[in-house]
Structure 1
Amino acid sequence: MTSSIFVADTRKAQGPGPRAVLLDLDGTLVDTEGIWWAAEAEVFADLGHVLDEVHRSVVVGGPMARSVGHLMAVTGTTATLAELMVAINTRFERLIIDGAPLMPGARRLLAELAAHGVPTALVSASHRRTIDAMLRTLGAENFHFTLAGDEVLRTKPHPDPYLTAAARLGADPAHCVVIEDTLTGVASAEAAGCVVVAVPSLVPIDPAPRRTVVASLEELTVPFLRSLSTRIH
């Protein structure tokens, strides 16, 4: 699957509630944060470095270049960023060859959004090849389109991914609800002016204006998302 310029018909979503729902991938819809860490740990182990678990919470949810750059700095490896990114992506894809586990409530939520005609987009910092591998489990048909981290000039925590997704759906970012699991993703969505629902994975996230925190996707329903309309101006 490739990303394309697409403007959704948002008429079904008119009325109370969000004009669109924009969803993160890793750690939000698919339980991959542990798999990413395993891929990183294996690649660095091949180079003679043991990754301390303390770095796991540092690299989670961030753009891959930043995460790998941090691991390069703490290990002192002589491998290049480009080499490591290719190796980690390849190892990750091998680890999910039989599919990646969905987060509890993910498939039900996507089906409910579709049933109510709410336009959706998948907005990830992962690269296109990685997203396409995971869509074999998640289902590309669940989204109007998907946007990868290597398809925007600046990925999360910059607002560009969510601004781009809202524009493609023909929706004002202020009328979009973003579902994220990390502080990096939340920062991106809030900088874009979106309402945020945070479902924290490894690092706690506090509530804030225009930000609701829940424990699981199982708490999210279309009526719940519509109840956030009081925060959408």
Structure 2
Amino acid sequence: MTTISTATRTLDQGDGRGLQAVLLDMDGTLVDTEDFWWQAEASLFAELGYALDENDRVHLVGGPMSRVIDYLIGATGVDLAPADLTVLINQRFVDLLAGGVPLMPGAERLLNTLAAHGIPAALVSASHRHVIDIVLDSLGSRHFAFSVAGDEVPRTKPHPDPYLEAVRRLGAEPSRCVVVEDAPTGVRSAEAAGCPVIAVPSVAAIEPAPGRLVLSSLEQVDLELLRSLVASRV
């Protein structure tokens, strides 16, 4: 894990019931990169003689790369080693990032709101460190206390490890850290860690559930809403 901000924010201990932090996914949640991943995967497989469709895309969204690679090999039967296919997709994705990364609607406002109220934010992604660092050039590392990458934990999403690591580093309680996600894989990870979840689906559908609020845009997320999700858990 790499610390990417020197800003000091006070973790709220309060009465043991308030919002302590917000943990945010990256691809498809804060930055509009799910289309970039899809372009990388679909264009590569087209060159290899395989046509991927929207049904495949639903299975690919949210990572982690190991699951994506397993699916692609199983669905197409392509004769490539998983490690080689990973390198090819990652490189094509990185090439697409060269022109900059568009933020999702409401992302900058949300991050600025958290900073203005001294609420720590952590970036928790299934993407690997080198990809996160490239995206942060557009997203802005100043917004985050730190980031957790998919290749920096024993098990990445959908396992709870990434979010539990973020909670541990913050010295917080899972039930007082709201997670914002866009994909079912990430939602399962956050809920397994014991965090309340705001889901803003990007490609695959996500249904509401106890402790999970499904919204259509980050523009609907404000401080009052974040605090209410934590309050409802106690």
Deviation at 1:158, TM superposition (A): 0.3
> Where does 1:103-114 land on structure 2 (aligned, <5 Å)?
103-114=104-115
State the match for 1:24 in structure 2: 25
CA RMSD of aligned residues (A): 1.9
1:64-108 Cα offsets, whole Å, 9 max, x none, are 111121111111111111111111111111111011111000011
Give the corresponding residue for 2:165. 164
> SS where residue 51 of structure 2 aligns?
coil
- Contact 2:19–2:227, Cα closer than 8 Å, also in 1: yes
Which position in structure 2 is the counterpart of 1:178? 179
Does the 8 Å CA contact 1:114/1:142 hold for their aligned counterparts?
A: yes
CA distance in 1, matches of 2:53, 2:179: 32
- Indicate the residue corresponding to 1:217 in structure 2: 218
Does residue 28 of structure 2 align to residue 34 of structure 1?
A: no
Identical aligned pairs, as a percentage? 57
Counterpart mapping for 1:38-187 below 5 A: 38-187=39-188
For this pair of structures, how many residues does the alignment match?
232
Indicate if the aligned counterparts of 1:174 and 1:195 stay in contact, CA closer than 8 A.
yes
SS at match of 2:167: helix
Q: Give the gaps of 5 or more residues in structure 1.
A: none
Contact 1:178 1:194 in 2 (8 A): yes
Alpha-carbon separation, structure 1, partners of 2:43 and 2:121: 34
For 1:90, give the aligned amino acid: Q
- Partners of 1:154 and 1:231 in 2: CA distance: 29
Return the alpha-carbon distance in structure 1 between the equivalents of residues 90 and 113 of structure 2: 32
Q: In the alignment, is the contact (CA less than 8 A) between 1:13 and 1:20 conserved in 2?
A: no
Secondary structure of 2:213's aligned partner: strand
1:14/1:31 CA distance change after superposition, 3 Å: farther
Moved over 6 A (4+): none
The corresponding residue for 1:3 is 2
Determine helix, strand or coil for the equivalent of 1:200: coil
The answer for unaligned runs of 5 or more in structure 2 is: none
Q: Distance in 1 between matches of 2:155 and 2:120?
A: 24
SS in 1 for 2:19: coil
